[in-house]
A and B are shown apart, each in its own frame.
Chain A
Amino acid sequence: MFYRLSGVYHTSYASDSRIFKVPADRNLAVFFLLFGLAAPFIVPSIYLNSYMLPWLIWTAAALGLNLVTGWAGQLHLGYAAVMAVGAYSAVHAARFGVPWEFALIIGGLASSVIGSLFAFAALRVKGLYLALTTLAMQFIMDWVLHHSPTVTGGSHASLQSPTLALLGQPITSDAGFYYVAFGWCVLVTIFMLNLKRTGLGRALVAVREKDYAAAILGVNSFYYKILAFAASSFIAGVSGALLVATFFFLATPEQFSVAVSIQALAMVIVGGLGSIIGSYFGVALILLVPGVINNLVAAIAHTLGAQVNVETLAHIPNAAYGALIVIILLIEPLGLGKLYGNIREYLMVWPFDQFRK
């Protein structure tokens, strides 16, 4: 729009390898970063903590899943199990008296170790078989959580999370929780943006696209698959821990069940495999749209004065939301990220569309 590419020339390799090569993209990113920082002062606290906060943490988690599924091309249906490992490890560490900074890292590392076990399955099997193997591991994790009271906290199977404290500062305010989530999401996003432009990202894509071609270039697919699982699991672990520490305040096995794993995969697929901005959209759709549709349906029913019974009210949003996912994937199988990319491409040269190559 308005000749966004006009006059953009890179004269050094450093400038050609910037994260945002087009100034308009950079400005947009800065705008959203500033908005994110100012959000606690603008957005009402109820929206901040019940919508934006989970959205940000889940985006970080989805980016981690995108790393292993979108970049390295390994289907992963046990992601919630890996998040659970991080969450429980971190909460237990914190209850034990470990400062939260280290507890989070412990959670991440514990997830990395368990997640790398998933990787060993990935080295033997591919595609749907891998999906099933990881799903089986998710079931094992579910079983373990339900049958080990020492881990999950006894008869009620819930584990109270100690008050989050970072750098010696206890965090109790809504804004505080939000900033922790925001900071984590920004960190993960920056990592993923860097991944896009470094040798690691290229090697992972090589492993995904053609393993024999990767091999002849000296890429050890064995090593890079494990690396992808380990890095992605670290992100999963910390995200899981933060989810408990800033949102649920209580860890229960249901938060990390099979359904959650599938939901996480849906976020990544609807958002777009290998798309960073897509993960933001995907999480928003999966996490937030059901609530929005719910309110919408209720409001419409109210204004029309129609008596809708509770059961219908509960089912309409589900149906609408399912239909929405199908429609999006029909329009653009590569997900919301690609949809955004198409619009961006179009606006890049608008209104001089004919000059596009």
Chain B
Amino acid sequence: MTTKSKPTDGYSGDRPILECVGIERRFGGIVAVTGVDIVIRPGEIFGLVGPNGSGKTTLTNAITGFYPPNTGTVRLAGQDITGAAPHKVAMLGVARTFQNLALFNGMSVLDNILLGRHIHMNPGVLRTALYWWAARREEIENRKIVEEVIEFLQLESIRHELVDGLPIGLKKRVELARALVAEPKMLILDEPMAGMNQEEKGYMSRFILDARAERGVSVLLIEHHMDVIIGICDRMLALNYGEMIASGIPREVVKDPRVIEAYIGGSHG
């Protein structure tokens, strides 16, 4: 990688933006994730891989508050956010996309992305009633920020269309836009390239790199495409059966026999 991560948002390079220590999450008797430690530094793109059911999504759910960890702590820029409700985690600066999309299908692309600005806005009943005096300026200011991201992700031509009818590649891009307009400290992307072809993957990778370069966002990227992980991640972690099996520089991690074992299944040759 030529683009080197640089400190942003006034955080010193050493202070982690996201820190998970000893995360464990059980569902009844099933241990979905156990003993996972992650440290993500500002401006870093951190890859998370593992076979299906290895606990990647459970881990993101533990971080974002959907399934709080049974043990362990999650710290965002030094602040303990373990077990905080999802909307609080979002307000503190974690944005996320979902593996199987969580867009509002009945709304336009623009409204979906505007919702990403929610944490920076202050909607209320009286402000709505007195729109011209109390809400218009805020709406327009946020619209400007949304339009910057729409331009950045090249969504201009579809901004007024309903999300429902868009192809999956565009939907994934709209969801990325919605996460980016929130100006998060930490961006969690859950398989943003699932079901994409090579060209779309290239576009998406470019967008993630540009988002880091231009907006200084730190990224936790869950992906199955190893070429993408090797191509754009600074460091990575591999999970299997909810446990860490290898972590470090992607080129080295993918050579690890345990990773090969987990992914390809046994080195019988």
Binding site for B on A (CB under 8 A): 13-14, 16-17, 190-191, 194-195, 197-203, 205-206, 209-210, 212-221, 227, 230-231
Are B90 and A200 within 8 A (Cβ)? no
B interface residues, tally (CB under 8 Å):
43
Interface residue from A191, A205, A220 paired with B104 (Cβ < 8 Å)? A205
Interface residue from A210, A215, A217, A231 paired with B125 (Cβ < 8 Å)? A231
B268 interfacial by beta-carbon distance below 8 Å: no
Closest CB-CB distance, A17 to chain B, in whole Å?
6
Closest CB-CB distance, B148 to chain A, in whole Å?
12
Stretch with Cβ within 8 A of A (4 or more), from B43-51, B115-123, B246-254: B115-123
Are B139 and A215 within 8 A (Cβ)? no
Give Cα distance in the complex from A199 to B102, angstroms.
Answer: 18
Chain A residues, CB < 8 A from B96 = 216
Closest CB-CB distance, B119 to chain A, in whole Å?
4
Are A203 and B118 within 8 A (Cβ)? yes
B131 interfacial by beta-carbon distance below 8 Å: yes
Stretch with Cβ within 8 A of A (4 or more), from B106-114, B203-211, B237-245: B106-114
Interface residue from A197, A210, A214, A216 paired with B139 (Cβ < 8 Å)? A197
Are B87 and A215 within 8 A (Cβ)? yes
Interface residue from B85, B104, B124, B178 paired with A209 (Cβ < 8 Å)? B104
| Interface secondary structure of B, over-half rule | helix
Chain B residues, CB < 8 A from A201 = 128
In the complex with contacts A17-B136, A199-B121, A200-B125, A216-B115 CB distance below 8 A: no
Are B104 and A218 within 8 A (Cβ)? no
Q: Which 7 A-B pairs have the closest CB atoms?
A: A199-B123, A213-B102, A218-B90, A218-B119, A215-B86, A200-B123, A194-B131
Question: Of A199, A200, A209, A210, which is in contact with the most chain B CB atoms at under 10 Å from its CB?
Answer: A199
Are A17 and B182 within 8 A (Cβ)? no
Closest CB-CB distance, A318 to chain B, in whole Å?
34
Are A218 and B131 within 8 A (Cβ)? no
Are A198 and B90 within 8 A (Cβ)? no
Are B128 and A206 within 8 A (Cβ)? no
Are A191 and B129 within 8 A (Cβ)? yes
In the complex with contacts A213-B102, A218-B119, A199-B86 CB distance below 8 A: no
Are A200 and B91 within 8 A (Cβ)? no
Are B128 and A200 within 8 A (Cβ)? yes
B34 interfacial by beta-carbon distance below 8 Å: no
Closest CB-CB distance, A274 to chain B, in whole Å?
8
Give Cα distance in the complex from A212 to B86, angstroms.
Answer: 8
Are B86 and A216 within 8 A (Cβ)? yes
In the complex with contacts A13-B144, A202-B111, A213-B98, A220-B87 CB distance below 8 A: yes
Chain A residues, CB < 8 A from B129 = 190-191, 194
Interface residue from B118, B144, B147 paired with A199 (Cβ < 8 Å)? B118
B103 interfacial by beta-carbon distance below 8 Å: yes
Chain A residues, CB < 8 A from B123 = 198-200, 202-203
Are B127 and A198 within 8 A (Cβ)? yes
Closest CB-CB distance, A278 to chain B, in whole Å?
15
Interface residue from A205, A213, A218 paired with B106 (Cβ < 8 Å)? A205
In the complex with contacts A191-B128, A194-B128, A200-B124, A206-B104 CB distance below 8 A: yes
Chain B residues, CB < 8 A from A199 = 114, 117-118, 121-123, 135, 138-139, 142
B66 interfacial by beta-carbon distance below 8 Å: yes
Q: Which of chain B's residues has its CB closest to A220's CB?
A: B87
What are some 21 contacts across the A-B interface (CB < 8 A)? A13-B147, A17-B136, A17-B143, A194-B128, A194-B129, A197-B139, A198-B135, A199-B114, A199-B122, A200-B124, A202-B111, A205-B104, A205-B111, A206-B104, A206-B118, A214-B115, A216-B86, A217-B118, A217-B178, A219-B115, A230-B125
Are A195 and B128 within 8 A (Cβ)? yes
Interface residue from A16, A200, A205, A227 paired with B107 (Cβ < 8 Å)? A205
Give Cα distance in the complex from A70 to B40, angstroms.
Answer: 42
B105 interfacial by beta-carbon distance below 8 Å: yes
Are A216 and B95 within 8 A (Cβ)? yes
Closest CB-CB distance, B94 to chain A, in whole Å?
8
Give Cα distance in the complex from A191 to B125, angstroms.
Answer: 9
